[in-house]
Amino acid sequence: MGLGAYYDNYILVLIFMLLGVALPVVSLTFGRFVRPKNPYAEKITTYESGIQPEGDAQVRYHVAYYIVALEFIIFDVETVFLIPWAVTLDQLGWVGLNLMLIFIAILALGLAYSWKKKVLEWN
Amino acid sequence: MTAFDANWSLMTPEIVLAALALLVFTIDFMTGIHGKKPFIGRLSVLSLLVTAVLVVVTNSTSGSIAEVFVVDPFAMVFKLIILIGVAMVILISMNFLDRERNAEVYQGEYYSIMLFAALGAMIMVSSADLITLFIGLEILSISSYVLAGFKKYSRPSTEAAIKYVVLGGTASAFILYGMSFLYGLTGSTSLLEIGQAIPMLFEEYTFVVMMSFLFMLAGFGFKISIVPFHMWAPDVYEGAPTPVTAFLSVVSKLAGFGIILRVFFLGFGGVYQEWAFIIAVIAAITMIAGNFIALTQTNVKRLMAYSGIAQAGYLLVPVATVVGDVGINMIVFYSVAYLMMTLGAFAVITLVTEDTGTSDLSSFAGLYQRAPYLAIAMTVFLVSLAGLPLTAGFIGKAYIFFGAVAGEMLWLAIIMIVTSVISFFYYFGFIKQMFMTDPRPNDKELAVPGSMQTVVTVSLAVTVILGILPGLVLDIFNTFNWMAFF
Amino acid sequence: MIQNAWLIPVFPLIAFLILLFIGRFLKEKASYVGIAALALSFIVSVLVLFERIGGETYTFVIEWITFGESTITMGYEVTALNAMMLIVVTLVSLVVHIFSREYMHDDNRIHVFYSYLGLFSFSMLGLVLAPNVLQLFIFWELVGLCSFLLVGFWYFKPEAAAAAKKAFLTTRIGDVGLLLGLVILFNQTGSFDYGVIYAAVENGLINDTLITATALLIFLGAVGKSAQFPLHVWLPDAMEGPTPVSALIHAATMVAAGVYLVGVMYPLFLASSTAMTVVAYTGAITAFFAATMALVMTDIKRVLAYSTISQLGFMILALGTAGYVAGLFHLMTHAFFKALLFLGAGSVIFAVHHRQDIRDMGGLWSKMKITSVTFLIGALAIAGVFPLAGFWSKEEILASALLNGDGFLFAIALITAFMTAFYMFRLFFKTFTGEYRGGDHDDPHADDPRVDAYGAADVAEADNPRDESMDKEAHVPPAEDHGHHHSPEENSGFMTLPLIVLASLAVVAGLVNLPFMGYPLEGFLTEGLNLGSQPHGALWLAILSLAVAGSGIALAWAMYYKGAIAEDFFAKKAPGVHNLLLNKYYLDEIYTAVFVRPTVAIGRFFWEMDKSIVDGMVNLIGRSTSSTGRSFGRRHNGQLQTYGLVSILGGIVVIALAFVLRGYFG
Q: What is the pLDDT of residues A6-28, one digit of tens each?
A: 666 667 777 888 888 888 888 88
Mean pLDDT for B33-42 is 80
Task: Test B26 with A106 for CB contact under 8 angstroms.
Answer: no
Task: Test B204 with A116 for CB contact under 8 angstroms.
Answer: no
Residue C230, preceding peptide bond in cis (omega within 30° of 0): yes
pLDDT of res. B33: 72
Residue type, C435: E
pLDDT of res. B61: 79
pLDDT of res. A31: 84
pLDDT of res. B3: 57
Domain that includes residue A7, residue range: 3-116
Among B109-123, B245-259, C100-114, which stretch is predicted with the lowest mean pLDDT?
C100-114
pLDDT of res. C455: 37
CB B51 within 8 A of CB B20: yes
pLDDT of res. B47: 93
pLDDT of res. C657: 64
Task: Test A109 with B184 for CB contact under 8 angstroms.
Answer: no
**Over the stretch A67-110, which tens digit does the pLDDT of each residue have?**
888 888 888 888 888 999 899 888 888 888 888 899 889 888 88
Mean pLDDT of chain B, nearest integer: 88
pLDDT of res. C654: 66
* Whether pLDDT at A56 is above 80: no
Selection from C629, C627, C563, C529 nearest residue C264 by Cα: C529
Task: Test B441 with C68 for CB contact under 8 angstroms.
Answer: no
pLDDT of res. C620: 63
Task: Test B362 with C462 for CB contact under 8 angstroms.
Answer: yes
pLDDT of res. C476: 40
Selection from B459, B331, B275, B467 nearest residue B390 by Cα: B467
Total domains in chain A come to 1
Check if C3 contacts B (Cβ < 8 Å). no
Q: Is residue A41 part of a domain?
A: yes
**Residue C74: strand pairing partners:** C62
Torsion over CA of B435, B440, B441 and B442, rounded to 10 degrees?
-110
Q: Is residue A122 part of a domain?
A: no
Q: C448 vs C356, C358, C575, CA distance in Å?
A: 11, 12, 17
CB B257 within 8 A of CB B217: no
Return the top range by mean pLDDT from B94-98, C403-407, C501-505: C501-505
Enclosing H/E stretch for B63: strand B63-65
Check if B432 contacts C (Cβ < 8 Å). yes
Q: B172 vs A29, A73, B214, B240, C638, CA distance in Å?
A: 38, 21, 13, 21, 21
**Residue C75: strand pairing partners:** C61
State residue C665 phi and psi, 5-degree precision.
-70, -30
Query: How large a percentage of chain B has pLDDT more than 90?
Result: 37
Residue of B nearest to A92 (CA): B1
Check if A3 contacts B (Cβ < 8 Å). no
C-alpha span between B262 and B126 (Å, rounded): 9
Mean pLDDT for B356-360 is 84
Selection from C180, C69, C81 nearest residue C133 by Cα: C180
Residue B228, preceding peptide bond in cis (omega within 30° of 0): yes
467-506 in C: which are within 8 Å (CB) of B?
467, 469-470, 472
**Over the stretch C55-71, which tens digit does the pLDDT of each residue have?**
788 888 888 877 767 78
- DSSP class per residue in C330-371: HHHHHHHHHHHHHHHHHHHHHHTTS--BGGG----TTT-HHH
How far B17 CA lies from chain A's nearest CA (Å)?
14
* Whether pLDDT at B170 is above 90: no
How many beta carbons lie within 10 A of that of residue C637, not counting itself? Answer: 11
Selection from C269, A109, C430, C416 nearest residue B28 by Cα: A109
Selection from C315, C316, C364 nearest residue C344 by Cα: C364
Query: How large a percentage of chain B has pLDDT more than 70?
Result: 98
**What number of C-beta contacts closer than 8 Å exist between A and B?**
25
Q: C518 vs C71, C394, C523, C528, CA distance in Å?
A: 42, 17, 8, 17
* Residues of A in Cβ contact (< 8 Å) with B185: 6
CB B148 within 8 A of CB B164: yes
**Over the stretch C106-147, which tens digit does the pLDDT of each residue have?**
887 888 888 888 899 999 999 999 888 888 988 998 888 888
Question: CA C343, C349, C350: angle at the middle one, nearest 5?
Answer: 90
Mean pLDDT for C261-282 is 88
- Altogether, the residues listed in chain C come to a count of 666
C-alpha span between C208 and C214 (Å, rounded): 10
Check if B360 contacts C (Cβ < 8 Å). yes
pLDDT of res. B16: 93
Return the top range by mean pLDDT from B208-217, C440-449, C472-481, C643-652: B208-217
**Over the stretch C137-176, which tens digit does the pLDDT of each residue have?**
889 988 888 888 888 888 878 888 888 888 888 888 888 8
pLDDT of res. B49: 94
Task: Test C168 with B424 for CB contact under 8 angstroms.
Answer: yes
B9 contact partners, CB below 8 Å, separation of at least 6: B58
pLDDT of res. B91: 92
Among A51-65, B453-467, C191-205, which stretch is predicted with the lowest mean pLDDT?
A51-65
| pLDDT grade for C665, boundaries at 50, 70 and 90 | very low
Selection from C115, C127, C150 nearest residue C12 by Cα: C115
* Whether pLDDT at C572 is above 90: no
Task: Test B184 with A113 for CB contact under 8 angstroms.
Answer: no
How many beta carbons lie within 10 A of that of residue C277, not counting itself? Answer: 15
* Residues of B in Cβ contact (< 8 Å) with C646: 228, 231
Check if B185 contacts A (Cβ < 8 Å). yes
Looking at residue A71, which CATH number applies to its domain? 1.20.58.1610
| pLDDT grade for C372, boundaries at 50, 70 and 90 | confident
CB B293 within 8 A of CB B422: no
How many beta carbons lie within 10 A of that of residue C393, not counting itself? Answer: 31
Check if B410 contacts A (Cβ < 8 Å). no
Among B404-408, C116-120, C413-417, C646-650, which stretch is predicted with the lowest mean pLDDT?
C646-650
Residue of A nearest to B186 (CA): A6
Q: Is residue A61 part of a domain?
A: yes
Selection from A32, A119, A23, A21 nearest residue A72 by Cα: A119
Mean pLDDT of chain C, nearest integer: 79
Question: What is the radius of gyration, based on Cα positions, of chain B?
Answer: 21
Question: What is the radius of gyration, based on Cα positions, of chain A?
Answer: 27
How far B139 CA lies from chain A's nearest CA (Å)?
15
Q: What ranges in C130-157 are assigned the alpha helix state H?
A: 133-151
pLDDT of res. C503: 87
* Whether pLDDT at B428 is above 50: yes
**Residue B65: strand pairing partners:** B69
Task: Test A112 with B25 for CB contact under 8 angstroms.
Answer: no
pLDDT of res. C457: 36
Residue type, B127: S
Mean pLDDT for B326-342 is 91
How far C621 CA lies from chain B's nearest CA (Å)?
18
Task: Test A95 with B26 for CB contact under 8 angstroms.
Answer: no
**Over the stretch B124-148, which tens digit does the pLDDT of each residue have?**
999 999 999 999 999 999 999 999 9
pLDDT of res. B103: 67
C-alpha span between B311 and C43 (Å, rounded): 46
* Whether pLDDT at C477 is above 60: no
pTM of the model: 0.84
How many beta carbons lie within 10 A of that of residue C562, not counting itself? Answer: 11
State residue C664 phi and psi, 5-degree precision.
-75, -10
C-alpha span between C146 and C165 (Å, rounded): 12
pLDDT of res. C522: 79
**Residue B190: strand pairing partners:** B129
C-alpha span between C482 and C441 (Å, rounded): 13
Selection from C259, C283, C264 nearest residue C332 by Cα: C259
pLDDT of res. C385: 83
Task: Test A117 with B33 for CB contact under 8 angstroms.
Answer: yes
Question: CA C431, C435, C438: angle at the middle one, nearest 5?
Answer: 70
C-alpha span between C73 and C65 (Å, rounded): 7
Q: Is residue A123 part of a domain?
A: no
* Whether pLDDT at C662 is above 60: no
Check if A16 contacts B (Cβ < 8 Å). no
B397 DSSP assignment = H
* Whether pLDDT at C191 is above 80: yes
CB C111 within 8 A of CB C26: yes
Q: Is residue A78 part of a domain?
A: yes
CB B171 within 8 A of CB B218: yes
Mean pLDDT for C572-579 is 79
Task: Test B184 with A91 for CB contact under 8 angstroms.
Answer: no
**Over the stretch B453-472, which tens digit does the pLDDT of each residue have?**
999 999 999 999 998 888 88
* Whether pLDDT at C344 is above 90: no
Q: C602 vs B288, C119, C595, C597, C646, CA distance in Å?
A: 10, 37, 11, 9, 20
pLDDT of res. C444: 43
C-alpha span between B390 and B380 (Å, rounded): 9
* Whether pLDDT at A2 is above 70: no
Task: Test A113 with B29 for CB contact under 8 angstroms.
Answer: yes
Q: Is A51 exposed, middle or buried (0-12, 13-18, 19+ CB in 10 A)?
A: exposed
Q: C12 vs C47, C117, C119, CA distance in Å?
A: 17, 8, 7
Question: CA B265, B309, B476: angle at the middle one, nearest 5?
Answer: 50
What residue ranges in B253-392 does DSSP mark as E strands? none
Selection from C323, C366, C344 nearest residue C521 by Cα: C323
Buried b (16+ CB within 10 A) or exposed e, C470-496: eeeeeeeebeeeeeeeeebebbeebbb
Residue among C69, C151, C464, C597 with most chain B CBs within 10 A, to mutate: C464
**Over the stretch C291-335, which tens digit does the pLDDT of each residue have?**
888 888 888 888 888 999 999 998 998 888 888 888 888 888 888
- DSSP class per residue in C554-592: HHHIIIIII-SS-TTHHHHH-HHHHHHHHTGGGHHHHHI
Query: How large a percentage of chain C has pLDDT more than 70?
Result: 83
pLDDT of res. C350: 84
pLDDT of res. A13: 76
pLDDT of res. B385: 92
* Whether pLDDT at C631 is above 70: no
Residue type, C98: I
Task: Test B170 with C152 for CB contact under 8 angstroms.
Answer: no
Question: What is the radius of gyration, based on Cα positions, of chain C?
Answer: 27
Residue type, B315: L
618-657 in C: which are within 8 Å (CB) of B?
639-640, 643-644, 646-648, 650-651, 653-655
Selection from C329, C324, C335 nearest residue C265 by Cα: C324
C-alpha span between C590 and C613 (Å, rounded): 32
Check if B183 contacts C (Cβ < 8 Å). no
Selection from B85, B89, B147, B168 nearest residue B122 by Cα: B85
Task: Test B231 with C654 for CB contact under 8 angstroms.
Answer: no
79-98 in A: which are within 8 Å (CB) of B?
91-92, 95
The closest CB to that of B22, out of A9, A92, A106, belongs to A106
C39 contact partners, CB below 8 Å, separation of at least 6: C94
Query: How large a percentage of chain C has pLDDT more than 90?
Result: 4
